[in-house]
């Protein structure tokens, strides 16, 4: 960052602390160059961009290439300013996410904010929660969204005998009712579709095909609008024991009714999984579809722990 022109590899190996000591200790140039390549990849993995400036006449000739970290990657536009309280909140928001789940733009923005060196309200940072993503499909889908790549994956719908291969241009990853969904253009149907990440049964395959990047504009809002509209059309009447875990979780998104609560839901099978997990804390009044699915899960749990197994 100290030079806009960049430094050659030989200059870096002879002047940067760490390499210089290794060189003075007799480490071979070949070993130092391997260390240099590993360090470059490590820095890039941390979100630090490294530019390689080669011979303009022969870009593939890297013998005299120069390397630099572009200063612009660590500077905010001149017309943007933050108060210490605003910086505290931005750092808090950045701390919620693991580095692997931040988009490239988000990593770049957070890096610029932290590079300002302005003191923030430290006490608030101790209250930062963490969002952990257990779905292995999240990261490849996120990269595909950033690169506008087409992906394929096998998707298992409840009641299906086997998973079906879906081809998708993913446009947004959204969280709704504590579950992650990918929204995109289904290429086989030529229509927008939303898929639960938990139902993707194997690795996401990223193809070389590129979709229209303009479709990403507003995709997250469209996905959430669709999920909210679906949940508004589907409601279950449930009785919930006050003060229980079921009451704490369900009442936040429910509407009180004379006999319990009206709880909206998107997917009957996912919703039945949740209700069954609360055991006797919740009872389904209607509709029959939800009631049947919950009873089926409770009976399966009972049967799995009865007889000789018990």
User: Do 164 and 205 reside in the same domain of the chain?
Assistant: yes
Domain count, the chain: 4
210 and 190 inside one domain: yes
Residue 57 included in any domain = yes
> Stretch 88-98: mean pLDDT, rounded?
70
What digits encode the pLDDT tens for the residues 114-147? 666 555 444 444 445 555 567 889 889 988 998 8
Q: Which among 195, 194, 300, 282 is positioned nearest to 239, based on CA atoms?
A: 282
Mean of all residue pLDDT scores within the chain: 83
Q: Are residues 60 and 103 in the same domain?
A: no
The answer to whether position 133 is within a domain reads no
**The domain that contains 213 carries what CATH number?**
2.30.30
The reply to whether 254 falls in a domain is yes
Q: Is residue 131 part of a domain?
A: no
Q: Show which of 92, 125, 158 is a domain's final residue.
A: 125
Q: Is residue 211 part of a domain?
A: yes
**Phi and psi torsions of 105, nearest 5°:** -65, -40
Kindly write down the DSSP assignment for every residue of the chain, as one continuous string. Answer: ---SS-EEHHHHHHHSTTHHHHHHTT--HHHHHHHHHHHHHHHHHTT---EEE--SS-TT--TT-EEE--GGGG---TT----HHHHHHHHHHHHHB-GGGS-HHHHHHHHHHHTT-----HHHHTT---B----TTHHHHHHHHHHTEEEEEEE--TT-SS-EEEEEEEEEEEEETTEEEEEEEETTTTEEEEEEGGGB-SPPEEEEEE--GGGGTTHHHHHHHHHHHHHHH-EEEEEE-TTSHHHHHHGGG-EEETTEEEEE-S-HHHHHHHHHHTGGGEEEEE-HHHHHHHHHHHHHHHHHTSGGG-
**Weakest mean pLDDT among 48-62, 78-92, 136-150:** 48-62
Asked if 207 and 172 sit in the same domain, the reply is yes
Question: Based on the domain organization, do 100 and 45 belong to the same domain?
Answer: no
Is the same domain home to 263 and 238? yes
Tell me whether residue 102 is in a domain. Answer: yes
Residues 247 and 283 reside in one and the same domain = yes
Whether 215 is covered by a domain: the verdict is yes
Q: What is the pLDDT of residues 191-246, one digit of tens each?
A: 999 999 989 999 999 999 999 999 999 999 999 999 999 988 999 999 999 989 99
- Residue 265 CB: number of other CB atoms within 10 A? 19
Q: Higher model confidence: residue 56 or residue 48?
A: 48
Residue 20 structural domain = 7-73
In a domain, 252, yes or no: yes
Same domain, 114 and 145: no
Among 59-68, 219-228, 264-273, where is mean pLDDT lowest? 59-68
């Amino acid at each position: 960052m100290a030079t806009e022109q960049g430094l050659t590899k030989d200059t870096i190996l002879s002047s940067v602390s760490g390499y210089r000591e290794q060189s003075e200790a007799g480490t071979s140039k070949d070993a130092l160059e391997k260390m240099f390549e590993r360090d470059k990849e490590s820095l890039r993995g941390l979100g630090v961009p490294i530019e390689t400036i080669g011979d303009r006449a022969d870009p593939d000739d890297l013998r005299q290439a120069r390397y630099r970290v572009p200063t612009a990657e660590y500077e905010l536009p001149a017309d943007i300013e933050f108060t210490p309280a605003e910086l505290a909140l931005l750092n808090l928001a950045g701390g919620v996410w693991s580095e692997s789940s931040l988009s490239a733009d988000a990593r770049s923005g957070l890096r610029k904010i932290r590079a300002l060196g302005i003191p923030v309200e430290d006490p608030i940072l101790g209250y930062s929660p963490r969002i952990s993503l257990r779905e292995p499909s999240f990261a490849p889908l996120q990269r595909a969204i950033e690169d506008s790549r087409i992906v394929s994956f096998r998707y298992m719908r409840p009641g299906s005998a086997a998973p079906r291969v879906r081809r998708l241009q993913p446009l947004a990853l959204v969280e709704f009712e504590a579950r992650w969904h990918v929204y995109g253009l289904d290429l086989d149907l030529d229509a927008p579709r939303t898929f639960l990440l938990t139902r993707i049964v194997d690795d996401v395959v990223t193809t070389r095909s590129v979709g229209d990047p303009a479709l990403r504009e507003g995709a997250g809002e469209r996905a959430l609008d669709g999920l909210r509209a679906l949940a508004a059309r589907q409601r279950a009447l449930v009785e919930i024991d006050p003060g229980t875990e079921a009451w704490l979780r369900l009442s936040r998104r429910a509407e009180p009714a004379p006999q319990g609560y009206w709880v909206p839901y998107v997917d009957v099978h996912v919703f039945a999984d949740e209700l069954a997990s609360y055991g006797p804390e919740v009872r389904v009044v209607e509709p029959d579809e939800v009631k049947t699915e919950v009873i089926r899960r409770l009976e399966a749990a009972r049967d799995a722990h009865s007889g000789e197994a018990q």
